[in-house]
Amino acid sequence: MLVLLRPGTPEPTAHDVITRLRMAGLAVFRTDHEGRARIAAIGDLSALDWKDVESWPGVESASKLGRPFKLASRAFHPQDTIISVGRASIGSDQLVIMAGPCSIEGEAQAFTIAESVAKSGATVLRGGAYKPRTSPYAFQGLGEEGLKIMRRAADAHGLAVVSEVMDTAQVPLLSRYADILQIGARNMQNYSLLHAVGHTEKPIMLKRGLSSTIEEWLMSAEHIMAQGNLQVMLCERGIRTFETYTRNTLDLNAVPVVKELSHLPVIVDPSHGVGIRDKVAPMARASVAAGADGLIIEVHHDPDHALSDGPQSLYPDQFEELVGQIRTIASVVGRRV
Ligand code: PEP
Ligand code: MN
């Protein structure tokens, strides 16, 4: 249920409304928009008489939050959510660029790449320390040592850190080193993991599942938000289709569709979306034109020897050229890098 209070409702009256909804056993979330409190009351609404709620002091209307996702919806929160992390203001008019290797491989690699992506205009360093690999024989990541290296490399170059958390037991560790916790595509519907990160105060980047619909993706965001963590950004990283000439099919339709349905920032990952180095830049440019709030791009100074995803990693000079192009496109769609 969405309860709108009248503009200028005194705080004690607003408080009373929230208390009465809580007494009815509902979870209550509030946002303020254009001078008016908007209250989402979630749970079993059968005991509540809607007309009665509309008669409470301060209440202007009580209506159904029609979509299955409630807190993630624009109906609850009309204005764009902005998530501040270091120098990045994700969801604002700043087009946020996150870049770095697929995996953190060592001190020299992480520092070399962090330095170059920072110089080119990235504000967030990406890199995996715990890697979800298709093969159990492939490089699985450096673990905590990788997180320590990544933190140092990011700090040395004024970057924030985004890194994947693969299971609930890793949440405290990742929270210690990373500024943004990444939920990988394969874990998009790992509800215990979503609940665990929903109990942190860290911004979450929720990647779209390999075969997930937009609604399933937004429902996973809802799982995180329902635990109290409203700082969620969504990441389109390509979906499984019948196409075999690209690694995945980057669903850029999702960008304007999600931006209408939800207030959450949308990041695009063209690296995993297309999976082929020389196709990453065109898809990155298209993502910005489509209205993405940010990009996450794999960059490696020696991709032929990368321990994961070398074939889709940009060389630093390619990344620098791409950021230059993105600056131009961003200005056309009312954004800046
Ligand atoms: C990654 O970002 O390196 C990664 C494994 O992404 P995804 O979960 O989208 O496959
Ligand atoms: Mn990767």
Question: Tell me: the pLDDT tens digits for 251-286?
Answer: 999 999 999 999 999 999 999 999 999 999 999 999
pLDDT under 70: residue ranges of the chain: none
CATH superfamily of 83-332: Aldolase class I (3.20.20.70)
pLDDT in tens, 41-95: 999 998 888 889 999 999 999 999 989 999 999 999 999 999 999 999 999 999 9
Residue 47's pLDDT is: 83
Under 8 Å between Cβ of 33 and 78: yes
Architecture of domain 2-63: 2-Layer Sandwich (3.30)
Q: Which residues contact 153 (CB under 8 A, 6 or more apart)?
A: 107, 110, 111, 113, 114, 125, 159
Which of 19, 13, 22, 28 is CA-nearest to residue 58? Answer: 13
Question: 84 C-alpha to center of ligand 2: Å?
Answer: 24
In the chain, CATH 3.20.20.70 sits at 83-332
Question: 16 C-alpha to center of ligand 1: Å?
Answer: 45
Residue 310's pLDDT is: 97
CA-nearest residue, atom 6 of ligand 1:
184
Q: Which residue has the tokens 């700090």?
A: 155
Give the number of other Cβ atoms within 10 Å of residue 242's Cβ: 5
- Closest ligand 1 atom number to CA of residue 235: 9
- Closest ligand 1 atom number to CA of residue 182: 2
Which ligand has the shortest distance to the CA of 184?
A: 1
Under 8 Å between Cβ of 38 and 2: yes
Residue 66's pLDDT is: 87
Residue 50's pLDDT is: 87
Regarding the beta carbon of 272 and ligand 1, being less than 6 Å apart is answered: yes
Regarding the beta carbon of 128 and ligand 1, being less than 6 Å apart is answered: yes
Give the number of other Cβ atoms within 10 Å of residue 8's Cβ: 8
| Secondary-structure percent of the chain, ordered helix, strand, coil, rounded to 5 | 40, 20, 40
- Backbone phi and psi for residue 201, each to the nearest 5 degrees, phi listed first: -105, 20
Rounded to an integer, what is the distance from CA 291 to the centroid of its chain?
15
- Closest ligand 1 atom number to CA of residue 184: 8
Distance, in Å, from the CA atom of 291 to the CA atom of 303, rounded to the nearest integer, reads 29
In the chain, CATH 3.30.70.1140 sits at 2-63
Under 8 Å between Cβ of 297 and 98: yes
What pTM was estimated for this model as a whole?
0.97
Distance, in Å, from the CA atom of 154 to the CA atom of 150, rounded to the nearest integer, reads 6
The structure tokens listed for 188 are 């998009």
3-class SS at 314?
Answer: strand
